[in-house]
Amino acid sequence: MSEGQPYTADIRWTTHGVAHIRGDRWGDVGFGQGYACARDHLPTIADQIIKVRSERARFHGAGPDGAHLASDLGYRALGVRGRAPELRDAQPAHIRELVAGYAAGYNAWLAEALDTDALPDWCRGAGWVRPIEELDLWTYYVDIGLLASGRNLAEVVGRAEAPGPDGPAAPSPVSALGGGAGASNGWAFGGDATASGHGLVVANPHFPWGGEARFWECHLTLPGELDVYGVALLGAPGVQMGFNAHVAWAHTFSRGSRFTLAQLDLVPGSPTSYRYGDEVREMTAHDETIEVLEDDGTLTSVTRTLWRSHHGPMVNLPLIGWGLDTGFTYRDANLDNNHVMSQFLGMAQATSMDAFQSVFEEIQGMPWVNTLAADRTGRAWFIDASATPYLSDDAIERFHERLQTDLIAQILFDSRVALLDGSDPGDEWQDDPGARSPGLLPHHRLPQFERRDFAVNANDSHWLNHPDERLEGYSPLHGLERTARSLRTRQNLLTAGRLAAAGDLTNERAIAAILSNESLSAELLCDDVIARATAAGTVTSDGVDVDLTRAAEILAAWDRRSDLTSVGATLWREFVAGFDSKQMQAAGPLFAHDYDPASPVTTPHGLAEPDELAGDVVVAALAKAVRLLDQAGVPIDAPLGDVQWAQRGEHRVPVHGGYEGEGVLNILAPFGALNSLSLEPGPAPLVPVAPERTMTSGIATGGYRTTYGTSFLMAVELTDDGPQGIGLLAYGQSGDDRSPHHVDGTEAYAAKATRPLLFTDDAIESDPNLIRRTLRSSSRPESQVRGQP
């Protein structure tokens, strides 16, 4: 775009506030997308810009337990701002134009909203809500690339002070280590599975319902160059998940490792020196200074000395810290990923499966997700193309041994953190000339397969995404092989297998299967639990008499779903929440028959018998479930919709869905594995009934207020007449709780009422809620509307 040349974009909003944006140039498309997304989510994007600029403490103070200060310091140490110019300059001209337009569109909406009530109360008039520079967006895109890595380590990096004369600094609080493992279901069906013989894709990402990790639904058109529908992360241009006329794709969070921690053997008396093979290496120090807002409104400067090994920044881990003998450092596979935007834009422009696959091979920019895709000819494809460290065979052998013998390594890996020996040169990442960056696996070493029936993924590793496809011999940093699958993965494989075997799959049948809310754990165990409870009668649980006969009657009448009308769903939920994830995957207190890698879809199974020493753990778990529900004020015969809800502003919307332990496809729960790092306010916290269940069932006084789970739900078939899709955005298109689009998506989700995903001009123009607007950057936008947005 020539200097000073105005941007022009046509926006058509359809039902539920979906924005269809058309421009004649890349900058015009970015301008329209930036404007429309900011209209729905400007405060959340602005908050993220302040975060990556290391200015949270400047505007909000040091934060609880110094969290804002640590975050600011950590982002400085990660160098996200310093890397932004390199990321920008690495892009082709059309992507730079797209982002420049996005920044201009954001600022155009802000100019309209300032000095009005268009912004929500929580940010109106705040000094951090201000125009952004193009470089601010590039800084944020570095951070998006770190969603499964450095983003979640920023605070522990910012707290990594070396031990001094008074000894080591206190370990970071547990809250400082963010969770970076979202969940999702993704299905790609080939022509052998569908009624039409074309490909069909189902996307069911499970993400937070608040904060920066939400999706925003849009349709972007640049005639002759781009015509893509789907969702984008807030503040990000383009579409990250969706479809065009030829290919559709879904993503699920990869089980693999996007970074590694390295344990350093420190030199006695010198905690900033470490052994490396036969030599001693010195860490390098760098001082970072942050402005901090004090309670009296003044600004003070805080300087902290942080450290780096040759691997990368030092970290101060919760519970472990940085000691006198051992320290920890980290290396990130996505910190230098300059190809993310080219990756997603190339996928959006692909005109065939071959072209789609070529993007992965040539660009290698996928940061942290699996991809499941299908095309119009009926080809279905799975790949985990996430950026993954490349270890030698010897290092892989040591890694497996470490998981068996090193308690710290085991605990970290359970949290999806891979630990290497940073003092052993043999554990260094290996270089391959075919990889996107030094130290990463090249494309030809990535797990993938293509079929004409189906492929699925539900966040377990690459090993089993079709019952007959065992991908073996890949790096454990892609995830482990021949290990037990989650109940949700097993339910995905069983359900998709049944749908594919019928050979008559449609969009409607696929969505109905996702939203059926059928519980695999109940299918496997409920009848036996009922029999055990009936035989037990009245038992004592923590000094309270509990009548399990009544509980058994409720479970016997339960439909074994997590629907709004399901009576017994909460009782079963609290029962299975009494067992941890490992007990769900092996013989033990819950299952009688152990996991068998030869039968991974059907094992473990069968209810365990009482233990001679521990007693009847099953009966005890059910009795505790009855007791916890009573403490929460939840009748054990309450329909799920009476006690599970989503709070959307002033609206309490009863919602269906379950949590991970139940083995349902449709996750909707009070807790999720991907943390929001947004300062966006939410409703006041509920009073927990059992703190140990905060991160499982999430039961609290009154029941279950959901905050995480099904977000964008899409089924799309690639037909000869163009893509035909249905779906919804479960938390709505707008983050402003005064907007009707903050709640209408949730009401549609609750009713299981999908809508057409409008792709053609005729379909868009026929929408009964159509609103049109032409935006021009040189003046206030002019409107041509059937109503005002």
What positions carry a catalytic annotation?
A: 184
Q: Dihedral of CA 705/707/709/711: which sign?
A: positive
Count of Cβ atoms closer than 10 Å to residue 24 Cβ: 14
- Three-state secondary-structure class, residue 110: helix
- Alpha-carbon distance of 435 to 391, in angstroms, equals 13
Bridge partners of residue 425, in order along the sequence: none
Reference 40, options 216, 232, 218, 219; nearest CA is 216
Sequence-distant (6+) residues with CB within 8 A of 695 are 671
Sequence-distant (6+) residues with CB within 8 A of 13 are 19, 20, 36, 769, 770, 771, 773, 789
Count of Cβ atoms closer than 10 Å to residue 646 Cβ: 25
Reference 228, options 216, 214, 242; nearest CA is 242
H-helix segments, 79-164: 80-89, 93-113, 134-145, 154-158
451 phi and psi angles, rounded to 5 deg? -145, 175
- Alpha-carbon distance of 605 to 515, in angstroms, equals 24
**Cα-to-chain-centroid distance, residue 523:** 28
Residues 621-636: b if buried by 16+ CB within 10 A, e if exposed? bbbbbbbbbeebebeb
Amino acid 349 reads Q
- Three-state secondary-structure class, residue 126: coil
Q: Are 370 and 186 in contact (CB under 8 A)?
A: yes
Please name the helix (run of DSSP H) or strand (run of DSSP E) that holds residue 557, with its range, or none.
Answer: helix 548-557
- Alpha-carbon distance of 211 to 45, in angstroms, equals 9
Residues 135-165: b if buried by 16+ CB within 10 A, e if exposed? bbbbbbbbbbbbbbbbbbbbbbbbbbbbbee
Reference 216, options 653, 650, 742, 682; nearest CA is 742
**Which tokens go with 334?**
């996505």
- Three-state secondary-structure class, residue 740: helix
DSSP class per residue in 614-630: TB-HHHHHHHHHHHHHH
Reference 317, options 263, 380, 273; nearest CA is 263
Map tokens 């969940």 to a residue. Answer: 183
501 phi and psi angles, rounded to 5 deg? -65, -30
Please name the helix (run of DSSP H) or strand (run of DSSP E) that holds residue 200, with its range, or none.
Answer: strand 200-208
Sequence-distant (6+) residues with CB within 8 A of 697 are 573, 574, 577, 659, 661, 669, 670, 704
Q: Are 687 and 700 in contact (CB under 8 A)?
A: yes
Sequence-distant (6+) residues with CB within 8 A of 510 are 187, 189, 200, 202, 499, 715
- Three-state secondary-structure class, residue 293: strand
Amino acid 225 reads E
Sequence-distant (6+) residues with CB within 8 A of 711 are 205, 206, 207, 209, 214, 215, 729, 730, 731
Q: Are 32 and 775 in contact (CB under 8 A)?
A: yes
